[in-house]
Amino acid sequence: MADLALVTLPSGRQIYLPTDSVISATGILDQLSTTQGAVLYRGASAWLALGPGTAGHLLSTGGSGVDPSWAAAGGAVWSPILDDKPGAADTPDDEFTAGTLDAKWTLVSGASGTVDPLYDLSSGNIAIYDLATRPGWFLIQVARNTTTNQLVEIRQDYTIPDGKSIVIALAPGSTDYAGNNVYGIGIAVNSTDSGHTAGTYARLYLDAQTAGGYRWRYFDGATIGDGVTTGLHPGKLQYLRLCRDGLVYTALASVDGSAWVTLASKTFGTAPDNLWIMGQAVTDANGLTGIHAIDWIRLGGIGLDPW
């Protein structure tokens, strides 16, 4: 007759087993649960198994000294407050921390310069970007005092992968509307290098309206879709996303990076291979010219959580 040994299982239960018997790890864990989808965790005094939760629920921790549990998902879980995306940066990503324009970008319109909140338009039009005045921000100052639109646009050779999106965080500058000073800042895609509105294009941008105030707009030569105007304030970060599903490009916008508004979709014949950041002034200014800011641009997914 084989000798017996007292064995303590993960649950804390003790049993006698022959000393020459072999117990696999699976055999030991099966003492806790044999249900598919169960999760092993450490309880107050022993290892336990949490049974499968409701489909779509997430595992929630109650902190130290509390057993985990299942909880209903609560919408988007990413934080737009973060300035750095976890992990390695994707190809189109830019946090604008270098102080100079990254080599991935080509300047097509405008020039590098120093923004001036008291710029005197009587000295002429202005269309500049500034990466030095406020490190980590791509600043744009555009205004016109003639009938010629003023434009800053940078381009990189990049095709948004299918099932992915481009997300940009930007803030409009304050300006003296007085029924004028119409401008827009945002992103665009096309396949023509000469400008973001050349060829077949789509532009997603924050639009300062002639009558004062802001709106989100998706545009391809005509308005594809407009967004709400509430919650859009000078100096407040806004979030724009252009999502690709096959050849369908859908525009979304958000005031907080969590709740997203779908503006509209556009179907391309072929996938655009240019990605643009743009800022433009489309009416003559008659007061202070705004300084607009872009915090970052990143690659994301097309689900509720961009990352």
Q: Map out the domains of the chain as residue ranges.
A: 4-71, 106-301
Query: Tens of pLDDT along 256-280?
Result: 888 888 999 999 999 999 999 999 8
Query: Tens of pLDDT along 179-234?
Result: 455 678 999 999 999 999 999 999 998 887 655 567 888 999 998 888 766 667 77
Tokens of 301: 């997914």
In this structure, of 68-72, 178-182, 287-291, the range with the lowest mean pLDDT score is 178-182
Which one is predicted more confidently, 235 or 103? 103
Q: CA-CA distance, 127 to 111, in Å (whole number)? A: 7
CB 159 within 8 A of CB 271: yes
Q: CA-CA distance, 53 to 234, in Å (whole number)? A: 44
Fold entry, domain 106-301: Jelly Rolls (2.60.120)
Give, as one character, the DSSP assignment of residue 213.
S
Most confident of 28-42, 102-116, 281-295: 102-116
Which residues, including other chains, have CB under 8 Å from residue 32's CB and lie 6 or more apart?
Answer: 10, 11, 38, 40, 47, 48, 49
Furthest C-alpha separation in the chain = 106
Single-letter amino acid code for the residue at 292: H
